[in-house]
Amino acid sequence: MGEEYDVVIVGAGITGCGIARELARYDLRILVVDKEEDVCCGASKANNGMVHSGYEPKPGTLKAKLNVRGVELYPRWAAELDFKLVQTGSMVAAFSEEELPALEKFLERGKVNGVPGIEIISGDEARKKEPNLSPEIIAVLWTPSAGYVEVQQVVLALAENAVANGVRFLLGAEVTDVLVEGGRVQGVVTTRGTFRSRYVINAAGVYADKVAEMAGAREFTIHPRRGTLIVFDKREGKHLSCFIGAVPGEYTKGGGPMTTPDGNPLWGPSAIEVADKEDTAVSAEDLRQVIEKDGRFIPNFPTDTVITYFSGNRPATYTEDFFIEPSAKVHGFVNVAGIQSPGVASSPAIAEMVVGIMKEYEPLHERPDFNPYRKRFVPFRERSREEQAALIAADPRFGHIICRCEHVTEAEIVRAIHSAIPARNVDAVKRRTRAGMGRCQGGFCGPRVAAILARELGVPVTAVTKKGPGSELFAGRIEDLRLEKGAAK
């Protein structure tokens, strides 16, 4: 039997890491487990990173309440945890008189939900804010409180701060069973051991229904809804500063073009119901639809500057609302499920709500030594010439650029590999440093990053993976493979 904890959190996405960091304020032994080798590998790695203002969720839903509260809490998270939060507002466009009633509907919804500053402005006023908008747009629903984050930076900041405050992360550990005795949760069985705990928080994204089932507490069902996003070259990052989208549909906010805090134009997502939770394929049809739909908003955008595309799955429930409740069947088992969009925007409020649920179970005692602050390492590319020279003088590996597109140095990659949440594969290095996120998408730096990983981890390069076991990058040295082939003849 492994170590004992007060709380085990299943899932190291933005929901699980946010909860871990907020619970770390209290005198609790906390373990976060995730089946992947890194944090931020589920829906949290494949989304727009929009801190939606909250005009879209139906009034009275958890989504409506937690979205607006999340927007209020984000500036404090950003200040304490030192991640980029860009608040440039968001727009919903009407191209014709027929679409105006829909804008009015979401204006009213926004007011009921408590969205600050929400208003409808004319197309001309919108073009004063965003000069590249289509001249065909006649009116816009404007919400100034919307913001944007790089979600991987938020999740890493939360996880690092949680670790600094005593939370343990066990990655590459899939939960295969939840222990329940006498109607009370007792812990989890994972592929890396069994861990007893008085509470289990289920933040397993699209798999939350499966984890709940393991506990005998399946009180909801998750059906994955795939969304495809397209990333463009940073050189085109000046076309738009805020998000502009279509009038939301029944099940999605509709997507639209935006620019990420790190400067990449990002279009999409689409919304397609899929049967398989692992189906993150990208189809030509998805891409065509996103390009056609989003191109309407900024018609002069050069769409041939695509650098990559990807899909993620929203963990939708049949009510379309978040499902955040202590289980009615198993004492101490808390479901934090159905966290589809606006899950990123709501994450500080979700964590706050879960702390409230835990306080219903028992009084929580604040730790006097809790440190809410975490300082990010300012990337080499963002520093002044003088600072760069000082870094190189202290460590010559800062003078060795590995990723030419994003100007990532060898020293930063080494730092990522030995950080509080250590990077163990090429994608994990990318999440921490942006190496491979640029125009060539790792064509130049990929093998170099792999070689540094092999050196720092003390493994052969053939053991280095893209994103964990099963995604090995190299079969062997060409010379050795040739010899093997020759020997087999």
Ligand X SMILES: Cc1cc2nc3c(=O)[nH]c(=O)nc-3n(C[C@H](O)[C@H](O)[C@H](O)COP(=O)(O)OP(=O)(O)OC[C@H]3O[C@@H](n4cnc5c(N)ncnc54)[C@H](O)[C@@H]3O)c2cc1C
Kindly state whether residue 425 participates in binding ligand X, applying the rule CB under 6 A.
no
Kindly state whether residue 13 participates in binding ligand X, applying the rule CB under 6 A.
yes
Kindly state whether residue 37 participates in binding ligand X, applying the rule CB under 6 A.
no
CB under 6 A: which stretch of 27-35, 120-128, 158-166, 298-306 binds ligand X? Answer: 27-35
In whole angstroms, the minimum distance from the beta carbon of 478 to ligand X comes to 34
CB under 6 A: which stretch of 82-90, 336-344, 449-457, 461-469 binds ligand X? Answer: 336-344
CA–CA gap between residue 172 and residue 193 (Å, rounded): 11
Q: For ligand X, what does the binding mask look like between residues 88 and 127, x meaning CB under 6 A?
A: ----------------------------------------
Kindly state whether residue 339 participates in binding ligand X, applying the rule CB under 6 A.
yes
Contact residue for ligand X among 54, 256, 269, 446 (CB under 6 A): 269
CA–CA gap between residue 302 and residue 307 (Å, rounded): 12
In whole angstroms, the minimum distance from the beta carbon of 229 to ligand X comes to 6
Contact 347, 15 (CB under 8 A): yes
Question: Can you say whether residue 362 is alpha, beta or left, with left for phi > 0 and alpha for psi between -120 and 50 degrees?
Answer: beta
In whole angstroms, the minimum distance from the beta carbon of 310 to ligand X comes to 9
When CB distances to ligand X are compared, the closest residue is 343
Q: For ligand X, what does the binding mask look like between residues 276 and 315, x meaning CB under 6 A?
A: ------------------------------------xxx-
Contact 261, 86 (CB under 8 A): yes
Kindly state whether residue 207 participates in binding ligand X, applying the rule CB under 6 A.
yes
Kindly state whether residue 178 participates in binding ligand X, applying the rule CB under 6 A.
no
Kindly state whether residue 159 participates in binding ligand X, applying the rule CB under 6 A.
no
Neighbours of 290 (CB within 10 A): 24
Kindly state whether residue 227 participates in binding ligand X, applying the rule CB under 6 A.
yes
Burial of residue 240, with CB atoms counted within 10 A of its CB: 0-12 exposed, 13-18 middle, 19 or more buried: buried
Q: Residue count at the site for ligand X (CB under 6 A)?
A: 41
Cβ closer to ligand X: 175 or 180? 175
Contact residue for ligand X among 57, 205, 245, 446 (CB under 6 A): 205
Pairing state between β 272-273 and 223-232: antiparallel
CA 33 from centroid of its chain's CA atoms: 17
In whole angstroms, the minimum distance from the beta carbon of 184 to ligand X comes to 21
Considering all CA atoms of the chain, what is the largest pairwise distance in Å, rounded to the nearest integer? Answer: 75
CA–CA gap between residue 267 and residue 282 (Å, rounded): 14
Contact residue for ligand X among 28, 50, 242, 358 (CB under 6 A): 50
Kindly state whether residue 335 participates in binding ligand X, applying the rule CB under 6 A.
no
Neighbours of 472 (CB within 10 A): 14
- Which backbone phi and psi does 120 adopt, to 5 degrees? -100, 130
CA–CA gap between residue 330 and residue 24 (Å, rounded): 24
Kindly state whether residue 46 participates in binding ligand X, applying the rule CB under 6 A.
yes
Q: Note if 365 is an active site residue.
A: no
Task: From the candidates 52, 239, 400, 418, give the one annotated as an active-site residue.
Answer: 52
Cβ closer to ligand X: 248 or 269? 269
Q: Is the dihedral of CA 423, 428, 430, 434 positive or negative?
A: negative
In whole angstroms, the minimum distance from the beta carbon of 171 to ligand X comes to 9
CA–CA gap between residue 369 and residue 89 (Å, rounded): 37
Contact residue for ligand X among 143, 340, 425, 433 (CB under 6 A): 340
Kindly state whether residue 174 participates in binding ligand X, applying the rule CB under 6 A.
yes
Cβ closer to ligand X: 13 or 436? 13
Kindly state whether residue 358 participates in binding ligand X, applying the rule CB under 6 A.
no
CA–CA gap between residue 420 and residue 412 (Å, rounded): 14
Neighbours of 100 (CB within 10 A): 14
Contact residue for ligand X among 9, 94, 242, 345 (CB under 6 A): 345
Kindly state whether residue 342 participates in binding ligand X, applying the rule CB under 6 A.
yes
Kindly state whether residue 257 participates in binding ligand X, applying the rule CB under 6 A.
no
The DSSP code for 71 is H
CA–CA gap between residue 199 and residue 197 (Å, rounded): 5
Kindly state whether residue 34 participates in binding ligand X, applying the rule CB under 6 A.
yes
3-state secondary structure 133-188: CCCCCCEEEEECCCEEECHHHHHHHHHHHHHHCCCEEEECCCEEEEEEECCEEEEE
In whole angstroms, the minimum distance from the beta carbon of 132 to ligand X comes to 21
Crossing angle between the packed helical segments 446-457 and 426-433, to the nearest 10 degrees: 110
Kindly state whether residue 327 participates in binding ligand X, applying the rule CB under 6 A.
no
In whole angstroms, the minimum distance from the beta carbon of 460 to ligand X comes to 27
Half-sphere exposure of 467 (CA within 13 A, CB side): 10
Kindly state whether residue 468 participates in binding ligand X, applying the rule CB under 6 A.
no
Question: Which active-site residues does the annotation give?
Answer: 52
Binding site for ligand X (CB under 6 A): 10-16, 33-36, 41-44, 46-50, 52, 174-175, 203-205, 207, 211, 227, 229, 269, 312-314, 339-345
